[in-house]
A = this chain, B = another copy of it.
Amino acid sequence: MNWENRLSKDAQSIKASEIRELLKILEDPEILSFAGGIPDPQLFPMDRVRDIRINLEKNPAADRQAMQYSQTEGYAPLRDWIADRCSTENTILERENVLITNGAQQSLTLLSTIFLEAGTKLAVASPTYLGALQVFGTRRPDYITVDTDENGIIPESLEEAFKKGARLFYTIPDFQNPGGMTIPEDRRVRIIELAHQYDVVIFEDTAYRTLYYDAPPPPSLLELEGAFLGKGQWQEKGLVIQMGTASKTLMPALRVGWTTAPKIILDKMVLLKQANDLHTSTLNQIIAHELFFNGLDEHVAILREVYGKRRDAMLDALRQYIPNSASYTVPKGGMFVWITLPEGMDAKDLLEKSIAHEKLAFVPGKAFFADEKGANTLRLSFSTCSPDVIRDGMKRLCALIQREQMAQVA
C-alpha cells in the first residue's frame, strides 16, 4: 500500500525528529540525563492534589459534573484567575480573553492553524523552542530567522526580519528554551515598537516566566504593549497574544495551559478548539485552579530555591571545567544552559560518544534552529538532578569535550 501519495502536503512535511529518536534511549534508567526540559517530579505538590481530590469527593454532584462534557472555553474560575493574574496597569484582561488549552503546546497548535498557511512569513529566534518549530512546521510557513546574543533577540536583526515581510513573530522572552537568555527591558520596548511599526503579531510564550532565580524578569511584552498603547487600548489595538502553562510550575500531565488574546482572535480559537477536541479535561482544570488559587506563590518559591541551586551547581562546574574553546550562557531562570562547542565539533557525534562512554545525555542544538545552523551547540537542563550529580556530570561532559577537541587537533 502506497500511503505517501494519499497524504496532505502538510502531512508529507511532518518528519520524525532525529533528536527525539536518539533520546528514546533516555528510558534507560542507567543514563544520566541533562536532556529533558522537564520539571522534577519530586517537587510535584502531590499532597495538595490528594486533598483536592478528597474535597471534590465531598461534593458528589460537583464531582460528577466535573466528568461531564463542559465548555470549550474552559473552567470559568480558572479563566478568571488567569485573566486577573495577566492583567496589568494598562491592560485589563477579562474571562473572554482567556482560553484553556491542553498545555501551551496546544495554544501554539491553535494559533498555527489560525495564522499560518503554506508560505506565511514567520519570524523566530535562532535558536528557538523545538516543539514550536514542530507544530509551526505542520503548516509549512516560510521561516525568517532572527539572530540572538546573550541578551536574546537582537532588535536590528528583528527589524530586518520584519522588513523582509514577517507577519508573525514567536518569542520566549524569559529564560528562553533552549538558550536560557532573557531579553532586557529596553529591547522588549523596541520589539513592541517594531511590531506596531511593521504591523506584526507577536506570540509571547511565558512558560518559564515565574522560574527566576536572581530577580523577576522585566515586564512581559503584553504589559509593555499596554504601556505603549495606553490604558484600555489593547482589546482594540493589541498585537501580543500570550500563552502560559501549568506544566513547568505544577505538573505537565495535567495538560493545562492557556492563551490570552483579543476577543476576536480568542473567539476563533474557541471554535477551532471545539472542532479539535471539544474541551480540556475538567478535573485537571479544577486541580490546576485549586493549586494556582491556593498557594501558587509559596509553591513556586520552593521551585525557585531548588532549581536555583541546581543552576548554580551547573554554572560553577562549567566555569571550572569547560575548555576555553567552548562557551556557555548564564541563565537567570528557567531550566537551560546553552553550550557552544568549538567550531567544527558536532554535538550529535558528541552525544553518541557521551551516551556510549559516559552514559550521559543532552540535546544537540541543531533541532532548535529553523535554518541549518547550530551543529556545534547543545542544550543542558539542570532541572532534574541534584547539585552533586550535576557537578559530576559537568566534569565528565567537559572532559569529553576536551578529549574530542584534542582528537580534532591531532
In the complex where A271-B14, A276-B135 touch, is A46 in contact with B64 (Cβ < 8 A)?
Answer: yes
- Asked whether A114 is an interface residue with its Cβ less than 8 Å from the other chain, the reply is yes
In the complex where A106-B276, A109-B275, A117-B10 touch, is A67 in contact with B139 (Cβ < 8 A)?
Answer: no
The stretch from A156-164, A178-186, A249-257, A335-343 touching chain B is A249-257
Q: A131 touches which one: B68, B135, B268, B278 (CB < 8 A)?
A: B278
Q: Are A268 and B8 in contact (CB under 8 A)?
A: no
Tell me which residues across on chain B come within 8 A of A252, comparing CB atoms. 67-69, 278
- Interface footprint category on A: 35 or more
- Copies of this chain held together in the complex: 2
CB-based nearest B residue for A252: B69
Q: A279 touches which one: B39, B255, B265 (CB < 8 A)?
A: B255
Q: How many Å from the CB of A326 to the closest CB on chain B?
A: 29
A255-297 residues with Cβ-Cβ distance < 8 A to B are 255, 262, 264-265, 267-268, 271-272, 274-284
Interface of A is mostly: helix
Tell me which residues across on chain B come within 8 A of A268, comparing CB atoms. 7, 11, 14
Q: Are A281 and B284 in contact (CB under 8 A)?
A: yes
Q: Are A41 and B57 in contact (CB under 8 A)?
A: no
CB-based nearest B residue for A116: B8
Q: A44 touches which one: B64, B236, B255 (CB < 8 A)?
A: B64
Q: How many Å from the CB of A28 to the closest CB on chain B?
A: 15
Tell me which residues across on chain B come within 8 A of A1, comparing CB atoms. 236-238, 262, 264
CB-based nearest B residue for A272: B14
Q: Are A201 and B57 in contact (CB under 8 A)?
A: no
Q: How far does the alpha carbon of A160 sit from the alpha carbon of B284 in the complex, in Å?
A: 46
In the complex where A10-B113, A11-B268, A113-B8 touch, is A280 in contact with B251 (Cβ < 8 A)?
Answer: no
